[in-house]
A and B are shown apart, each in its own frame.
Chain A
């Protein structure tokens, strides 16, 4: 583009200066390219290349010497555990994201409701679960769920409820894993919603109040539509993170009991790293791609839309 402009400007008499400008322009884009080079290096060698490499890996046999085509996939489709993992990953992600969204929205509303000088303090406290490294905080939950010394069961005993096997029983283990995930993720929703709530102009509420809207109508007709974009970006983002989660399940249940809490990530780790079948592990983790791709596309669309609104 720039080059075309210059050649048109260039009168023969100033030929020398034109080429010096060309050199300058070239230098500017060269500088820009050099400045982005490390970024490109990281993205291509450590993200893009491995992503495509795992496609290749997934077509090899266990010792990675023979091409088996879709053999690994066929093998997976024939295994009951695989379908269990598919079911659990979806259940886990959808349930956790819905509850995170609801709790986050509710808490954000309560924080938004109180006088603004107290808001900072509450916001600060309520975000703590998001700040603690999940592997560490899940250890605390593991201890709260401990089979013999569970502090929850101690409380339940006081109200006359029989002890719960938090991580030992299939249903309770799933419940616990989802609970911890909600605990970690809800504050993130809260913060995003709070930021969005603050960006809704106060006049809209005043106008609707004059129009006779009650609090529920205000939320439904003003708050939610105004925040729709942030809500969907946050939810999609959380869907990706939850669906691809590793830390919580790994620390809390290790996938058990009887593989009933394994997700794609934890099962891929078990199969690929711990059992040494790298191609099969790669194959398992690739099953995350479709959902991730859909979510990522939607996020990009929403972010683009937000750009246009501004």
Chain B
């Protein structure tokens, strides 16, 4: 068990700067997920931790030991690859025990450890098969088993679920979480899927363009994004960004949006936003905070009349899209609320959950 520390990590391939200075402290037993769009440097970061990629600048420590120049086999890590990388000519048992054999672990112990790992992953009956006789989900389990038997200090996962179909992916996600709760090994997990990141992580690291945008628990990222990128990346469907202006409104503040009535800012936020008065900003509102209006309005909630253009029923809820100042805004209403394309609908906007983003810096104010 070990903590992992990255200090000012930089990686340059010939010309491309894949990673541009990353600082990250991962605590012992923590499950950390690196998430971000494709090409943002997640894999490169993970491979540097594994020792598969040389570090251009910076320091990596595992369990307090500087490992910049330590070869992968001596870093005491295990990695699960996107395409599993199972040895095609070996049985499942041999695949899982290969690393232990090379480390000259006693035969009985190998057997014990492999069987224990196979038990955890319920692949006991597959031990004699070859990888090509396994389904995608089973291969995934074997790849994890190969990591588990080694009892490493750190698990590294690189998009391990992206080759599975949607249903299996959800199932394996829970499986991975269960395994982590059982073995309690420090884990660094890479994915481009924010839902995977949110559901699995103790802490999520959002990356963009080779840099870290924000680090935090899933709820922190969801409720308090620091940047426009994080606000837009976390949450599905994505947050709406509506051009707006903040103005004084009696003793408080109001948000002026084209085509919409003034939206008063809740009193407890007024002080925070006062310096922004008179500036052109972006109003960030998640679809789930634009609901059908029913009954009396609570504090901080305003009602608007929306001309619904598109309706997308999802079963447990319905997405409605309506134009505001030239952009499409998404709201999330109950299926029985009766939104119809082309009709007007009263919607309640929960300004307690509003965000204001400065378009000049793309930071949340």
Chains A and B touch each other in the complex, with CB atoms below 8 Å apart: yes
Q: Using C-beta atoms within 8 Å of the partner chain, give the interface range for chain B.
A: under 10
Whether A14 lies near B54 (C-beta < 8 A) is no
Residues facing A in B49-85 (CB within 8 A) are 54-57, 66, 68-69, 71
Contact assessment for B68 and A14 in the assembled complex, using a CB-CB cutoff below 8 Å:
yes
Of A2, A8, A20, the most chain B CB neighbours within 10 A belong to: A8
**Which of A2, A8, A14 touches B69 (beta carbons < 8 Å)?**
A14
- What is the total number of residues of chain A having a CB less than 8 Å from a CB of chain B? 11
By beta carbon, the residue of chain A nearest B58 is: A9
Contact check: which of A9, A14, A17, A21 meets B56 at CB < 8 Å? A9
Q: Give Cα distance in the complex from A21 to B51, angstroms.
A: 13
Does the CB pair B57–A8 fall under 8 Å?
yes
Contact with A along B318-350 (1 / 0, CB 8 A): 000000000000000000000000000000000
The reply on A45 being an interface residue by CB < 8 A is no
Residues of A within 8 A of B66 (CB): 14, 17
Query: Inside 8 A of B56's CB, which chain A residues have their CB?
Result: 5, 8-9
- What residue of chain A has the Cβ atom nearest to residue B54's Cβ? A5
A94 close to chain B: CB less than 8 A: no
Q: Mark B21-57, 1 if CB is under 8 A from A, else 0.
A: 0000000000000000000000000000000001111
Interface string of A1-45 (1 = CB under 8 A from B): 010011011000010011011001000000000000000000000
B14 to chain A: closest residue by CB: A1
Q: How many residue-residue contacts, CB under 8 A, span A and B?
A: 21
Question: Dominant SS at the A interface?
Answer: helix
Bound: A9/B69 CA distance, A: 10
Distance of A220 Cα from B57 Cα, bound (Å): 56
Q: Give Cα distance in the complex from A8 to B55, angstroms.
A: 10
Chain B residue nearest to A11 (CB atoms) is B59
Report yes or no: B57 in contact with A17, Cβ–Cβ below 8 A.
Answer: no
Tell me whether A17 and B54 are in contact (CB under 8 A): no
**Whole-angstrom CA separation of A6 from B69 in the bound complex:** 9
Min C-beta distance of A17 to chain B, whole Å: 5
CB neighbours (8 Å) of A8 from chain B are 56-57
- The answer to whether A21 touches B69 (Cβ under 8 A) is yes
- Closest chain A residue to B55 by CB distance? A9
Within residues 70 to 95 of chain A, which ones have a CB less than 8 A from any CB in chain B? none
- Complex contacts, B71 vs chain A, CB 8 Å: 24
Using Cβ atoms and an 8 Å threshold, which residues of chain B touch A14?
66, 68-69
Q: In whole angstroms, what is the CA distance A5 to B14 when docked?
A: 11
**Nearest chain A CB to B14's CB is how many angstroms away?**
9
Distance in angstroms from A97 CB to nearest chain B CB is: 40
CA distance A8 to B69 in the complex (A): 13
Which chain A positions have C-beta within 8 A of B55?
9
Q: Are B57 and A20 in contact (CB under 8 A)?
A: no
Q: Shortest CB–CB separation between residue A16 and chain B, in angstroms?
A: 10
Chain B residues with Cβ below 8 Å from A17 are: 66, 68-69
- The interface bits of chain A over 83-122 (1 if a CB of B lies within 8 angstroms of the residue's CB, else 0) are 0000000000000000000000000000000000000000
Chain B residue nearest in CB terms to A8: B57
Closest CB in chain B relative to A288 CB, distance in Å: 42
Compute how far the CA of A5 lies from the CA of B56 in the bound complex, rounded to whole angstroms.
6
Whether the pair A18, B69 counts as a contact (CB closer than 8 A) is yes
- Residues in A with CB closer than 8 Å to B68 are 9, 14, 17
Give the interface centre of A2, A8, A9, A14 by most chain B CB atoms within 10 Å.
A9
In the complex, chain B residues whose CB is within 8 Å of the CB of A5: 54, 56
Q: Is the CB of A20 within 8 A of B69?
A: yes
Bound together, the chains give a CA A8 to CA B66 distance in angstroms of 16
Contacts of A2 in B (CB 8 A): 54
Q: Across the two chains, which residue of chain B brings its CB closest to A19?
A: B69
Q: How far is the CA of A6 from the CA of B56 in the complex (A)?
A: 8
Give chain A residues whose Cβ lies under 8 Å from the Cβ of B57. 8-9
User: In the complex, A24→B71 CA distance in Å?
Assistant: 10
Q: How far is the CB of B331 from chain A (nearest CB, A)?
A: 43
4 more contacts with CB within 8 A, not counting A14-B68, A14-B69, A18-B69, are A9-B56, A9-B68, A17-B69, A24-B71
Considering the complex of A and B, which 10 residue pairs feature the smallest CB-CB distances, nearest first?
A21-B69, A17-B69, A5-B54, A9-B55, A9-B57, A8-B57, A5-B56, A9-B68, A18-B69, A20-B69
A residues contacting B by CB (< 8 A) are 2, 5-6, 8-9, 14, 17-18, 20-21, 24
B residues within 8 Å of A by Cβ? 54-57, 66, 68-69, 71
21 of the cross-chain contacts (CB-CB < 8 Å) are A2-B54, A5-B54, A5-B56, A6-B54, A8-B56, A8-B57, A9-B54, A9-B55, A9-B56, A9-B57, A9-B68, A14-B66, A14-B68, A14-B69, A17-B66, A17-B68, A17-B69, A18-B69, A20-B69, A21-B69, A24-B71
